[in-house]
Amino acid sequence: MCSDHIIRGVAANGQIRCFAAYTKETVETARGFFDTSPVVTAALGRLLTAGAMMGSMMKGENDRLTLSIKGDGPVGGLTVTAGADSFVKGYANEPQVVIHARSDGKLDVAGAIGKGYLTVIRDMGLKEPYNGSVELVSGEIAQDITYYFASSEQVPSSVGLGVLMNRDNTVKVAGGFIIQLMPFAEDAVITQLEANLQGIDSVTSMLSSGMSTEDMLKKILEPMELEVLDTIPTGYRCDCSRERVLSAIASLGRADLESLTGPGDDIEVQCHFCNKKYSFTAKELERFSKK
């Protein structure tokens, strides 16, 4: 099989821009780190896939995108961070949530997330990162990101995301697409696209039937001509280090620090994104906890 990647393209003479992602290994890596239950694998996998595609939309090499979902369902929240290189990392607040499947037999991602908010933070190295927040309209994630694009960025979009598990709960396929209309898109193009989107199968059906990311975009856009501009690798990557963890600890106040450790003890901190453990001596922390 092919390795994880994103393709970017345009269609209808540039009136549409489009992205498609294949993210099986990315999602399987997250599942392996956190031993997520199937519904959380699906939820986190969808958000990681969206993050990878949205990361590729950023211009600056050091730009960072964070997608954060907070909900009142049992998962509590999901956080995904993407670089402009389209590599992602993420975690779920409660990775092992188990809830009943929906009546159609599908994993109930919306039920696991509940009602809440999606926040998108774009850090472009400026003083104030761009920050947009919308209420969750479905909790299924793809629709929520579609709504975010329309209401916060005024870009009419269609987003599809999917994660399918094997019987042993490992990831069978994962991927997605984002289709966006440029402001000058003609009515005929919009009508064609809307009709196509009504008729397509789910992302997981398309991918597991053997369609490539390019086939998927062609299917969504036919008979409009798709021009693939580039193919970029994606994957799960945690860039944590002792220094980064230490500076995160340093941002805590003295009282919080003492609640972590108890005066005089070493503390162990686990990276949220990859479970790697770092331990610090009281002496090291002492240097940082002084104001």
Binding residues vs Zn ion (CB under 5 A): 238, 240, 271, 273-274, 276
| Three-point CA angle 181, 187, 193, nearest 5° | 55
- Least distance in angstroms from the C-beta of 239 to Zn ion: 7
User: Residue 37 carries which side chain, given as an amino acid letter?
Assistant: S
By beta-carbon proximity to Zn ion, the closer residue of 88 and 107 is: 88
By beta-carbon proximity to Zn ion, the closer residue of 147 and 273 is: 273
- Least distance in angstroms from the C-beta of 273 to Zn ion: 4
- Least distance in angstroms from the C-beta of 85 to Zn ion: 17
- Least distance in angstroms from the C-beta of 64 to Zn ion: 15
Supply 199's token pair: 């008729």
Q: What is the DSSP letter of 245?
A: H
Supply 161's token pair: 């995301």
Is there a contact between 82 and 120 (Cβ–Cβ < 8 Å)? no
- Least distance in angstroms from the C-beta of 93 to Zn ion: 16
Q: Is the dihedral of CA 29, 233, 75, 102 positive or negative?
A: negative
Is there a contact between 179 and 189 (Cβ–Cβ < 8 Å)? no
By beta-carbon proximity to Zn ion, the closer residue of 249 and 271 is: 271
By beta-carbon proximity to Zn ion, the closer residue of 33 and 148 is: 33
- How is the chain split among helix, strand and coil, in percent rounded to 5? 35, 30, 35
By beta-carbon proximity to Zn ion, the closer residue of 219 and 276 is: 276
